[in-house]
Chains A and B, each alone.
Chain A
């Protein structure tokens, strides 16, 4: 027996081999998927940290994700067709309330936020709409940046804030196709 999310491994990896969307069509897909990015973030936090989050402002589609937070976790994901970045941002004084610790170290924050980003990607891959648009992307190893020192490229993405009590956490997901990285066939 394997514990899969009901869709099975074969269907999870389907779609990855399709012709990638051009980047202007990716923006359209992101608009349609914006509620999925938001609800999946809420679900991931609920399952992993048992925090119930609320949305106060609608999530939006942007040309570049924000990168100015005290703690910024980024996770790269890729397939043959797409490259994506997950970004989770939080302020220093919200970390303990978010991950349920007291005086969490930078390492502890990186640990939990990294796992959160990994699981976020996994749950996005379980979503039919997301998979139809982008297939399944493989996750790299997360990296934590401090004090706004991240570099996030200009790539269309969905982003928004989730509120828990008096605190918030930022989620962003940007994605582009790999066409621009390929050498033309001669």
Chain B
């Protein structure tokens, strides 16, 4: 069964690429898309996805704050951060319970990046899939 995935990123430019990659390359079902941390929390509650792919630098509520709320409510949440942020914030996300971190820029025309992306997502999903 295809993993049910939510994508949270304030950039349509990025969402388009991620949606295509998650569905066409990784075989996921993208059940919802949001553009800030508030939508991430709401959409997570509504859909209870297998995976949440979330950016950090977003308006209204940053990704790290959304992750904090989601993990507090759903400790088993499977979250992958996909962001260009390199600061302490990315370590904080892992400490909060995000499973892994993927750096932007997205390089889906690079084989090594595509392979590592797939492995990272698969590992993040590992514990929740039978």
The verdict on A138 contacting B85 (CB below 8 Å), with A112-B13, A123-B105 known, is yes
Q: Which of A5-13, A58-66, A178-186 contacts B (4 or more CB under 8 A)?
A: A5-13
Among B22-30, B44-52, B117-125, the stretch that binds chain A is B117-125
Residues from chain B with a CB closer than 8 A to the CB of A3 are 100-103, 113, 116-117, 120
**Which B residues are in CB contact (< 8 Å) with A79?**
87
The number of chain A residues with a CB under 8 A from chain B is 34
Residues on the B chain within 8 Å of A13, using CB: 86-88, 91
Question: Closest approach, in angstroms, between the C-beta of A126 and any C-beta of chain B?
Answer: 7
Task: Indicate if B84 sits at the interface (CB-CB under 8 A).
Answer: yes
Complex-state Cα separation, A12 to B84, whole angstroms: 12
In the complex formed, the residue of B with least CB distance to A140 is B57
Q: Which residue of B lies closest to A17 (CB)?
A: B88
The answer, yes or no, to whether B14 is at the interface (CB within 8 Å) is yes
User: Is A159 interfacial (CB 8 A cutoff)?
Assistant: no
Cα A2 to Cα B103 in complex, Å, equals 8
When distances are taken between beta carbons in the complex, the residues of chain B under 8 Å from A12 are: 86-87, 90
Is A29 an interface residue when CB atoms closer than 8 A count as contact? no
- Which residues from chain B sit less than 8 Å from chain A, CB to CB? 10-14, 57-59, 83-91, 94, 100-107, 109, 113, 116-117, 119-120, 123
Q: Which 4 A-B pairs have CB atoms at the shortest separation, nearest pair first?
A: A122-B84, A125-B86, A138-B87, A119-B105
Provide 25 A-B residue pairs closer than 8 Å at the C-beta atoms, listed in order of the A residue: A1-B100, A1-B116, A3-B102, A3-B103, A3-B120, A4-B101, A4-B103, A5-B103, A9-B101, A10-B91, A13-B91, A16-B88, A44-B105, A108-B12, A112-B11, A114-B11, A115-B13, A118-B104, A122-B104, A125-B87, A136-B86, A138-B87, A139-B84, A139-B85, A141-B58
